[in-house]
Chains A and B, each alone.
Chain A
């Protein structure tokens, strides 16, 4: 039996890869493996779907069918009934009051609004000086402003009426960016250094020479210190800085009633004011409010508490007993008392220690207390980072002959801070959210404003819409902070886990 092979079929080409059978690929497979892999999982999946559906079924119609255009809660209810809906959110309150929730009662730049958008009625009322000038009638002015704002859209008021806080926030982003992202040009760091003074000027207004001379005075004090330390050594330099600072800003002789040339700061400001009177209308801190207040308190607290916290952590590990005790006492006392108690101390008790009639800015008191509170927590977080470093790192720094500050700066802190990032950001997020507690000391934070808005006859009885709006504002900020911390951790990751 010879001849052709008895094998009936020989494949000469390769089968094209077939798609996997249905149920073994794509969504179906993912679902089978992750959602329906066993009886328990199937049950849990069905239960979860049911729960999610029932929550959404009641929340989504309420949210999406919300009424945007109404002037009171009752009007909202009428519109809802007219549409035949069972539930509907009354977003109209946000539509009408979102500027108030963002800025509180911070005054708008009415002169700008009037001269740009309301020029004709302004001319009819007699021009800028007649309406807004020094001798003008306040009642007439407020009527004019009310009529003007009724004409303008909220967006116009947002961009032009509130340009000062808006510009301050935009510049904040510019100033913070070079600190957060190392890839940006280093020259921007000068913007960061100048920013606190610019921000104070934009938010509080007043003469431009106030913040400018403070900045100049600080630079002068540091420069004098540098000159002295170059000739006489570090200690003399530090003393020179303190002496120069006192001569410029605080008159140590003033305590016993001596006035005269010192401090230099008011004289310099006075001369500059007389020569070139430049500035913005001054706005006292009791008119600050809304989410802006949370940003101001939160940002200053965050920026100031990090260096103080690091110093406290180092002080707590110091071998010098006096410094260690001071730091330990400070941290334990501040941390052992709730923030709300400290805020009450700031708002009420402090007054008993100050001379009667003196008013120490409420916002400033709160910023100081919040900063001290956060720095105690930061100190403990950083201490955790320091403790996580192997002792070999400290010894290595010593063996290289580095002094204390150099070893901390070059070897210890970079590693310790990297370990502490999640803890630090955690503290910052907590601090930012804790700013709502200032409602209890009478500052108009967003939650306090929801109360004030509810007190108006139109919006009395409205709850969820206001709280949801405030929650969204806070979530946006906290989410950004948490994302940034994750980015930073990834970027600084040097181990090979």
Chain B
């Protein structure tokens, strides 16, 4: 009997799906009243649920910012948990509107997979963590070390490259997940644990004695992580790109969630701020958004720096320094094109 219900629901689902596919992503989101954001199932600092099931984190905040820009409501987001295997197909198949899930921007993903990386919200790189009593100060001294490494990731390939280039040997200890890697490393099954620096920092923060472990200075890969949309709907890609840029630019110009209402009340001396906040020009309308779209984003979510400090900055358990993710004016890589 149950089978027939399944068939019935299937038929109904097929019917509604036929109606939905004719619209642009923006129209779909507005018709649905919520943004479908592909997110990590759980990654410390970037996406994690609190006791009531509300998602929080650095990546989550970008999803919320997009929802504010399009729908005016930071909570109008449905988070779809995606694994590293299912994330790109889910996006391509239209199960999510945007993917913000620590995805590295690579050539083949951008071109061959027919996806668009619209920006970088976190510049990561692969690093190494060792026990400080080993007395190692550089990854080049790791000759003959055992290394815990997650299988099937780009980190595995980067590791092999690094050791080959430096003509030193290592013995891999394959692990399946970050959780397993932490346990193996703590149990002494490997001398070195390698993954993205942000992951290493988050992992080290959970140890009983974080001071007994050091993250080595070498960064052996480029991992620009950013939001991804489908090919073919450039208007939607623009909204996601400029939402991120608005958060970055707001930090550059000193617009914070605390002072944004005041700055948006009347035009300021800086025309760039005025255009960003909509007190001058009609930038929002060019994307089909409201005039004060950036004001809403910054007052609901905060600027890039605020979000960084709230979830992954030095005062959080993850404890990451800004490093490459500082503004270009402070020797970082964050550089928003002008709002003009």
Contacts and interface: CB of A to CB of B under 8 A. Distances in A.
Interface of A: 73, 77, 96-97, 100, 104-105, 137-139, 141-142, 145-146, 149, 193, 196-197, 200, 211, 214-215, 218, 245, 249-250, 263, 265-266, 286, 300, 303-304, 344, 347-348, 351-352, 355-361, 364, 367-368, 440-444, 448, 451-457, 460-461, 463
B4 A139 contact: no
A461 B206 contact: yes
Contacts of B56: 456
Contacts of A453: 42, 48-49
Nearest to A344: B85
Contacts of A455: 40-44, 46-49, 57
A360 B86 contact: no
Kindly name the residue among B2, B40, B47, B316 whose own CB sees the greatest number of chain A CB atoms within 10 A: B2
16 contacts: A145-B52, A215-B1, A249-B11, A265-B8, A351-B95, A355-B17, A356-B21, A357-B94, A358-B14, A360-B10, A368-B6, A442-B82, A451-B179, A452-B49, A456-B44, A457-B45
Nearest to A149: B52
B13 interface: yes
A141 B179 contact: no
A456 B41 contact: no
B10 A364 contact: yes
Nearest to B317: A457
A457 B21 contact: no
Contact of A442 (B53, B86, B182): B86
B20 interface: yes
Given A300-B2, A460-B206, A359 B13 contact: yes
Nearest to B45: A457
Contacts of A367: 6
Given A355-B18, A455-B42, A348 B53 contact: no
Nearest to A358: B17
Interface in B263-302: 300
A448 B4 contact: no
B93 interface: yes
A361 B52 CA distance: 24
A26 to B, nearest CB: 46
Given A139-B300, A145-B52, A460 B44 contact: yes
Count class of interface residues, chain B:
35 or more
Kindly name the residue among A142, A347, A360, A457 whose own CB sees the greatest number of chain B CB atoms within 10 A: A457
Interface stretch (B68-76, B128-136, B221-229): B68-76
B205 interface: yes
B207 interface: yes
A197 B5 contact: yes
Interface string B57-68: 100000000000
Given A451-B42, A456-B49, A360 B13 contact: yes
A423 B293 CA distance: 62
A215 B8 CA distance: 11
Contact of A77 (B3, B7, B208): B208
Contacts of B7: 249-250
Contacts of B76: 138
Given A300-B2, A442-B81, A457-B316, 14 more contacts: A145-B52, A196-B2, A211-B5, A249-B8, A303-B2, A348-B86, A351-B95, A359-B95, A442-B82, A448-B41, A455-B47, A456-B49, A460-B44, A463-B179
